[in-house]
Copies of this chain bind each other. A is one copy, B any other.
Amino acid sequence: MVGHSFMGAVHSHAWRSAHRFFDLPMVPHLAVLGGRDLGRTKAAAAKFGWASVQTDWRELVNSPDVQVVDICTPGDSHCEIALAALAAGKHVLCEKPLANNVAEAEQMAAAAKEAAGRGVRSMVAFNYRRVPAIAYARKLIEDGRIGTVRHVRAVYLQDWLSDEQAPMTWRLRKDKAGSGALGDLGAHIVDATQFLVGDLLTGVTAVTNTFVNQRPAEDGGVDDVTVDDAALFLGRFANGAVASYEATRFALGRKNGMRVEINGSRGSLAFDFESMNELSFFDGADGDASGFRRILVTEPTHPYVGAWWPPGHLLGYEHTFTHEVVDFVRAIADGVDPAPSFADGLQVQRVLEAVEHSATEGSKWTDVPGGQA
């Protein structure tokens, strides 16, 4: 694994825990943790349970001890590391967004496709697909329980930048992060909704905004914020559904409000990550007694849940990563390509780019390449 901050901690826990709850064909071994600073990487390795450390990620991806490379670094290094790892024949799990721009994502998707021919697997870590409630929602849609999808509305609301004095971070630098709320939060809701609907966005119109242009720097001065604080966009799906999206870090009081609502011709679904064990489902067939059902997605028959606790005993954020590891390891063992693929990651990147393009071009309608297919 390369990278050991927030994502590193949660990925490590997943790698450590997956086989404790799920029957895996192979037991993951936490071999090498990569990081630039030797001291901090060693401390992280001890804390997270990695056997060794490596400050040169090129050594890491070429190490004979390593069969899988998990990329948890900022977006600007994803492409380089992933290409090297795939070339070295290592399976790759890469954090989202896949890359900081479409050009990089295209290279990665091409490399992944080539590698797959050699039996080398790759997956982009859109972990929200592995929230049981979202996986179950997908199943309900696949089963036709809501009919034809007509409306999608998704927001991802956080508030950690609401304070104008919140300090500068790499997440607010375009060169490091690619974009702001758009790539960090918007990418999640674009992927999740396309996954849920089982269809792609064909075009968008967008507005982005930066509310606070300068923030306190580490050195006591100020740094320029070079990304969006909020991104709002409307879109159309290939099947005719219309969609609304909003990603922001300025929605005071919303801590992790990733909410999706989908209306179909026969039913509707609603989800809020702040209540991630619940799915709201309206079944148009319920007649007089119809109403949104608050389904506690904690039954053994629900996706992933059987491996955990009895009904009503909640799962948390980290479980989505454990599920990701489970599915990834099983795909490797089964010799099949896991989803979401790097191609899926590329398509999300194309949506993000279309959003940015529309926002800078007077909100004009912007097609998403490939979405029309």
Contact = CB atoms under 8 A, between A and B. Distances in A.
A250 interface: yes
A20 B16 contact: yes
Contacts of A268: 251-254
A363 interface: yes
Given A290-B293, A316-B315, A317-B309, A253 B267 contact: yes
A244 interface: yes
Number of copies: 4
Contacts of A309: 6, 10, 316-318
Contact of A48 (B20, B164, B293, B296): B20
A289 B274 CA distance: 17
A195 interface: no
A256 B207 contact: no
Contact of A316 (B157, B162, B314): B314
A176 interface: no
Q: Which of A153, A253, A268, A315 has the most CB of B within 10 A?
A: A253
Contacts of A10: 309
B313 A314 contact: no
B253 A145 contact: no
Contacts of A252: 146, 263-268, 282, 284
Contact of A162 (B13, B265, B301): B265
A199 interface: no
Contacts of A236: 207
Interface in A128-178: 136, 140, 145-146, 150-151, 153, 155, 157-160, 162, 164
A154 to B, nearest CB: 11
A291 interface: yes
Interface residues of A, number: 96
A153 B151 contact: no
A279 B289 CA distance: 9
Interface in A227-278: 230, 232-234, 236, 240, 242, 244, 246, 248, 250-257, 261, 263-268, 273-278
B48 A289 contact: no
Given A205-B207, A268-B251, A363-B365, A256 B293 contact: no
B274 A312 contact: yes
A74 B65 CA distance: 44
A314 B242 contact: no
A17 interface: yes
Interface string A302-336: 10000001111111111100000000000000000
A207 B242 CA distance: 8
A52 interface: no
A59 interface: no
A337 interface: no
A106 B159 CA distance: 41
A251 B144 CA distance: 17
A294 interface: yes
A338 B150 CA distance: 40
A219 interface: no
A37 interface: no
Interface string A195-232: 00000000001110101000000000000000000101
Given A153-B155, A292-B293, A314 B311 contact: no
**Those 3 A-B pairs whose CB atoms lie nearest each other, nearest first:** A256-B312, A255-B312, A253-B282
10 contacts: A162-B265, A162-B284, A252-B263, A252-B266, A254-B268, A281-B289, A290-B293, A294-B294, A314-B314, A363-B365
